[in-house]
Structure 1
Amino acid sequence: MSSESPIRLEFCACSDVGRVRKRNEDSLAVDEGRGWAVLADGMGGYRGGDVASRMAVEVTLQCLERELVAPDDNEAERVAAVLEVAVREANAEIRAAAARDSALSGMGSTLVVAAFLADRVLTAHVGDSRMYRLRGGVLEQLTRDHTMLQQLVDAGILAPEEVAHSQFRGLLTRGLGVSPVVLPESGSHSAFPRDVFLLCSDGLTDMLDDVAIAAVLEPVESGVTRLEEAADRLVALANERGGRDNISVILVRMAA
């Protein structure tokens, strides 16, 4: 899907089951008119992962739609506060659903949500689904993974080049549905004309490094490649390199 919003944004979203998993436990949605993007990855190995990710996206959007209705609600501080509320509501709803149905016990999800304003993007996330920004050919990760692996890197116990082969890959330190209280991490980032933003599940980033991702996105920044072509290319590359997990991608471009 692709269109242009009042704040001159172009969107594209796609998801693929990959080459190993039998079902897709990722969920994603965009609201082009409001400038919102949401992506969730049901926790692998847990029953109900697809239910949890779907609930995460639905509850988040419902909260934004309910809380951001007045003109003043577009102020950055207000939007940032609502994003955090949405994450907490999603956590509560997932836990409540798991408590009602024993078949869903232990289900959980990551979540990354972005709200685009005129000159910046506000984010909230939990887990290891990521958001990137490509500007001037330079790809920057805007979110920080909530994983055991990231903690080891931050502490200097593990070198960045050892990450790809670590046994700690995929072990989350924060996630929706895990505990009664969830601590979302918030961010505020500048958004310039031609910037390209990527929200994705780890099914993409476990298969492709930043160099490979940037190479696909650079033609989008210059306007040579359409968002849909780049999204399809990212998914295809991840599958070519193993496709070990579901692959979900949301691309957003600030129009010139």
Structure 2
Amino acid sequence: MDIRIRAAALSDVGRQRRTNEDSFGFDLDRGLFVICDGVGGRAAGEVASRSAVDCVLSRFPYGADGTGGGSDLQRAIQAANRSIFQAAHREPLYAGMATTIVAAHFDGSRMWIAHVGDSRAYLLRGGSLHRLTDDDSQLSQMLREGRRDLSPWDMARMDSVLTQAIGASEMVVPTVTVLNVELGDCFLLATDGICKALSNSEMLSLLLTSNSPEQACHQLTSAANAAGGLDNATCIMVQID
């Protein structure tokens, strides 16, 4: 069975930020997709996110046979973490820089996804949108521990505090997910400027009315701006057909 993979990406600075600290990259030949959301003063967030994307694209092996898809992503992300952590300690202008990451690799039958932070991956299948990643945030940690007594203010505050990020510490442990791919599947990778500005149902509605990965990216970033554009908005849309 022949499988075609199509992809598009788009990044928008939003309506409130002066600079865009999101970065993305992909390589259709290797079925490799990466998106990052940087944090840090001055240009450091932009440096961290761009460095992480470039490192994963360069470190992920060519000709990966699928058996090491998850471990290959982990190693590439951990290499990016070491590089950014060391740069942040070596260069005063980059002190405190870090970035989220979500990376995906399609090996011909499965999609491997690895992430750190609160950028997310979703699967559009059969008219439903399924979230594939769980944020590395204080809020997610509290909810996993069964806390249900949090006020809206507490939830908003904790949602913005990451429990791990690329470059924030010497070691990082990416979470890896794998699932078998079906024809017609669409995978969305997005920074929080999209996935926290729009509800699951809003994103689903936009994706169902899109005719191509390019149109899906344009509709998502436009909707994030229409919702206030409080943050940079970046997404990659991958279609399997």
User: Residues 169-184 of structure 1: matches in 2 within 5 Å?
Assistant: 169-184=159-174
Tell whether 2:37 aligns with 1:26.
Answer: no
Residues 131-156 of structure 1, C-alpha deviation per residue, up to 9 Å, x if partnerless? 00010111111111100011122122
Residues 150-203 of structure 1, C-alpha deviation per residue, up to 9 Å, x if partnerless? 112212213799599622221100101111111111110121111111000000
Answer yes or no: is the 8 Å Cα contact 2:139–2:155 preserved in 1.
no
Q: Give the TM-score, by structure 1 length.
A: 0.88
Residues 104-136 of structure 1, C-alpha deviation per residue, up to 9 Å, x if partnerless? 011000011100122210011100000000101
Tell whether 2:44 aligns with 1:58.
Answer: no
Answer yes or no: is the 8 Å Cα contact 1:26–1:41 preserved in 2.
yes
Local SS of the residue matching 1:180: coil
Distance 1:41 1:171, change over 3 A: same
Provide the identity percentage.
Answer: 37
Which residue of the other structure, out of 73, 92, 116, is the alignment partner of 2:106?
Answer: 116
Q: Which runs of 5+ in 2 are unaligned?
A: none
Residues 36-66 of structure 1, C-alpha deviation per residue, up to 9 Å, x if partnerless? 10000002657601000000000001101xx
Q: Give the TM-score, by structure 2 length.
A: 0.94
Tell whether 2:53 aligns with 1:83.
Answer: no
User: What is the CA–CA distance in structure 1 between the aligned matches of 2:3 and 2:77, rounded to whole Å?
Assistant: 24
User: What is the CA–CA distance in structure 2 between the aligned matches of 1:209 and 1:161, rounded to whole Å?
Assistant: 20
Which residue of the other structure, out of 85, 93, 99, is the alignment partner of 1:95?
Answer: 85
Tell whether 2:240 aligns with 1:254.
Answer: yes
Tell whether 2:228 aligns with 1:242.
Answer: yes
User: Residues 1-256 of structure 1: matches in 2 within 5 Å?
Assistant: 7-43=3-39, 48-64=44-60, 67-69=61-63, 73-75=64-66, 77-158=67-148, 166-220=156-210, 225-255=211-241
User: What is the CA–CA distance in structure 1 between the aligned matches of 2:57 and 2:150, rounded to whole Å?
Assistant: 35
Answer yes or no: is the 8 Å Cα contact 1:149–1:163 preserved in 2.
no
Residues 220-252 of structure 1, C-alpha deviation per residue, up to 9 Å, x if partnerless? 4xxxx1221121111111001111100001000
Residues 83-102 of structure 1, C-alpha deviation per residue, up to 9 Å, x if partnerless? 11001100000011112211
Answer yes or no: is the 8 Å Cα contact 1:153–1:160 preserved in 2.
no
Answer yes or no: is the 8 Å Cα contact 2:40–2:96 preserved in 1.
no
Answer yes or no: is the 8 Å Cα contact 1:42–1:53 preserved in 2.
yes
Runs of 4+ in 1 over 3 A off after TM superposition: 44-47, 158-165
